[in-house]
Structure 1
């Protein structure tokens, strides 16, 4: 099997940090989906009401925590 340039892939990965806008958007989408799941689960336990305000709050908290952990 011909592997071509074995250093090319490693150099490409180590030299690229990606587009920060894509990472930001991905963080927002994943935080919103996980926040909605957490609030939904809490509503099943009657610990919180499933509302847009609670989902938005959970999203902002999760987004901020993720941002702080990944950029510190």
Structure 2
């Protein structure tokens, strides 16, 4: 059984996030801020895990570097 709102073509799903961001009337600074915060949280968690395994030291430099990498990749893949 399918929901009444579902369509066979999936037009809403085919548009993707890029078109949704382009058509959005929201402030893009909010997206940048959310991306920065979530990138920092992910980077901190990954570096902590690597420190726990003994593969890398948990330092501000390592967290900041990974944060910038994750932020840049996310921006390039999703928003451009």
**Which of 64, 75, 79 does residue 67 from structure 1 map onto?**
75
Q: Quick check: which has more Rg, 1 or 2? A: 1
- Which runs of 5 or more residues in structure 2 are unaligned? 1-19
* Paired residue secondary structure (1:47): coil
Larger displacement relative to structure 2 (14-23 or 42-51):
14-23
1:48 counterpart SS class:
coil
> TM-score under structure 2 normalisation?
0.68
TM-score, length of structure 1 as denominator length: 0.76
Q: Give the ranges of 4+ consecutive aligned residues of structure 1 lying more than 4 Å apart after TM superposition.
A: none
- 1:27: which partner in 2? 35
RMSD: 1.4
